[in-house]
C-alpha cells in the first residue's frame, strides 16, 4: 500500500467517526450520553431537591418522587 492510500483510508475513517458523533449528539438533544454509575442515585435526588427548592414541584410531588427513586435504588451487596 502506498502512503496516499493510507492517508485516504485515514480520512474516510475520521469522517465516519465525526459523522457518528454528530448523529449521536443530535439524537440526544446536544447532551452528552453517559452510562449510569454507582453514584447516579444521589445526583438524581439532588436534582429533585433543586426542583423542589426552585418551586417547580410542590412538597407532595417531591415526597412521592423521592419515595419512587429510593424504592428502585440498587441494594448494596455484602461480600
What is the structure's pLDDT at 31?
54
The yes-or-no verdict on residue 69 having pLDDT over 80 is yes
Do the beta carbons of residue 69 and residue 41 sit within 8 Å? Answer: yes
Say yes or no: 3 and 23 in one domain.
Answer: yes
- Tell me if 7 is assigned to some domain: yes
Say yes or no: 24 and 2 in one domain.
Answer: yes
Say yes or no: 68 and 46 in one domain.
Answer: yes
Show the cell assigned to 58. 410542590
Say yes or no: 19 and 43 in one domain.
Answer: no
The model's pLDDT over 15-67, given as tens digits with 9 standing for 90+, comes to 999 988 888 876 655 555 444 445 555 688 889 999 999 998 999 999 999 99
What is the structure's pLDDT at 24?
80
Say yes or no: 43 and 61 in one domain.
Answer: yes
Amino acid at each position: 500500500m502506498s502512503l496516499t492510500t493510507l492517508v485516504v483510508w485515514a480520512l474516510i475513517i475520521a469522517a465516519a467517526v465525526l459523522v457518528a458523533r454528530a448523529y449521536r449528539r443530535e439524537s440526544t438533544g446536544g447532551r452528552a450520553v453517559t452510562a449510569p454509575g454507582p453514584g447516579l442515585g444521589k445526583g438524581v435526588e439532588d436534582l429533585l431537591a433543586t426542583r423542589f427548592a426552585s418551586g417547580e414541584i410542590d412538597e407532595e410531588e417531591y415526597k412521592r418522587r423521592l419515595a419512587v427513586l429510593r424504592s428502585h435504588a440498587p441494594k448494596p451487596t455484602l461480600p
